[in-house]
Amino acid sequence: WPDVLLNSLETLALRVDRQAASAASLAGWLESRPDIAGLRYPGLPSHPQHELAKRQMSNGGTLLSFTLAGGKDEAFRVLNALRLIDISNNLGDSKTLACHPGSTTHSSISAEERAGMGIADGSIRLSVGLEDISDITADFELGFRAASRVAAKAAE
């Protein structure tokens, strides 16, 4: 396994640069969507610590989170409709991964504490992978459309 590790390290910088570029692109796309109630990505000027991130980081990183106004139900509808992106609590893979932190990694914390940490019921956390950014955004577009259809049916 040491050979595998050494071979992986040779391309680590290239992979992380690609993932960070995709994360920045995805964050910008998400920020422009009306169904997004909040977005956290330090590479965007809208992030409260953007200036600090610019001083300390060469890019915005590969992780981001966003919140849907429809809460946990809407987040689950979006996640369940994804076809390319896997649902997982792990971060840092070469594949894009999504999770609902309120029901997984932070489920043992009270709703009030989660809210204080910026984790709402409608929050989704992403670790952006190496897939083409157009494939990632298309998968989320599929998820958002599915969530909208279900919400529209429920309102009838």
Task: Dump pLDDT digits (tens) for 83-124.
Answer: 999 999 888 889 999 999 988 778 889 888 888 888 889 999
The DSSP 8-state label assigned to residue 51 in this structure reads: H
pLDDT of residue 6: 85
The span from the CA of 16 to the CA of 141, in Å, is 24
Cα separation, 41 vs 50, in Å, equals 8
| Token couple for 66 | 């966003």
Mean pLDDT of the chain: 90
Residue 60 CA to residue 82 CA, distance in Å, equals 24
Identify the pLDDT of residue 116: 85
| pLDDT on residue 130 | 97
pLDDT reading at 126 higher than 80 = yes
Predicted TM-score (pTM) of this structure: 0.88
Q: Which of 75 and 1 is assigned the larger pLDDT?
A: 75
Closest CA to 68 of 124, 125, 27: 124
70 vs 37: CA distance, rounded Å: 9
Report whether 29 contacts 59 (CB < 8 A): no
Element (H, E) at 124: strand 123-127
Dihedrals phi, psi of 104, to nearest 5 degrees: -130, -95
